[in-house]
Amino acid sequence: MVPEHPLYPENACLLAPVAGYTDLPFRLSARRHGNKYAFTEMVDAGSLVFGVKKSLRLLARDPSEAFLGVQIVGSDLETLKKSVEILNRMDFSVIDFNLGCPAPKVAKKCEGAALARKKPEEALKAFSVIAETALSPVSVKMRILSETDPEPTVQLVRRLADCGASAVTVHGRIAEKFYSGPVFFDIIRAAAESVKIPVIANGGALSASSYHELRENSSCSRGMVARGALGNPWIFSEIEGGLPPTLEEFCNEVREHFFSMRDFYGEPFVFPICRKTLLAYLRGRGFPGSLRASVSFLNTLEDFKLFLKEIGKGPLSKVYRETGRVARC
């Protein structure tokens, strides 16, 4: 059932479920800089039902997380029902159904964005099963279905709302474009104007300024950040008018994020997992290429300490020299 009050307040900024990134340590980093609404990484409904350990780890929640959504992907109705029954025994603020993932491994099973685009009736049946089984609010994350005609997107959003969605997040690109090309704000806006439930604007929010552009051009009072938060938890405080980090603040966050990952995954396993996260912190901030390349060779705590020492020398960017802030260029 749709709750009496909106799932997200006006001006809420959500952290998207980003596969391979938004694990517990990542979310705690974002929380330290103002994020309130976040999701687990996408979880395959079948993996959840069959108790795959890797999938179960994705569901870890810290006691400090006041709001945490879980996102599932799938298409088999019985499997989705069983997965939601499992989630009902856990503590999640919302169960989100993925109808937007464009990844080939998801598309080949006609799930995610492919399910919404190719088999919208089956997508609605799948969501209805989730809505009927869930004990918590339910929502959907999807992509626009056409760049030229808003009607298919509008109709699907309307029908999802009729099926019990408490909110729908709409990414303003079609699945084939993945994360490139323009975001079609007008189609997100048409979808938002067609329903009474919150529609969250998504797509292209790589900085505070582009996030505000997304919100303004889509006329949505709520927005979602995905890739813009990778290596940049400060995006949430910057959206609220804060400044990029000083070098000391930057180093402290990289250190804390790494050791949070070490504690979560264990020292023998953390280095292959953390490399892409550490590289995301360096990307676009003016650090030398040799430092970025060194991330691939981190294998011990001593390696990490030396790496952090090199970060402490500061980026080479003009912005840093002029402001003392480690901003993305």
Active site amino acids: 101
What is the sign, positive or negative, of the torsion defined by CA atoms of 158, 183, 142, 30?
negative
Q: Which helix (H) or strand (E) holds 43?
A: strand 43-44
Alpha carbons within 13 angstroms on the beta-carbon side of residue 188 total 33
User: What is the rounded CA–CA span in Å between residue 231 and residue 309?
Assistant: 18
What is the sign, positive or negative, of the torsion defined by CA atoms of 225, 227, 228, 230?
positive
Q: Are 271 and 296 in contact (CB under 8 A)?
A: no
First to last CA, the chain: 45
User: What is the rounded CA–CA span in Å between residue 115 and residue 175?
Assistant: 11
Query: Chain centroid to CA 281: how far?
Result: 16
Structure tokens at 294: 């060194």
Q: Is 151 helix (H, G, I), strand (E, B) or coil?
A: helix
β-strands 38-39, 13-15: how paired? unpaired
Q: Which helix (H) or strand (E) holds 282?
A: helix 267-282
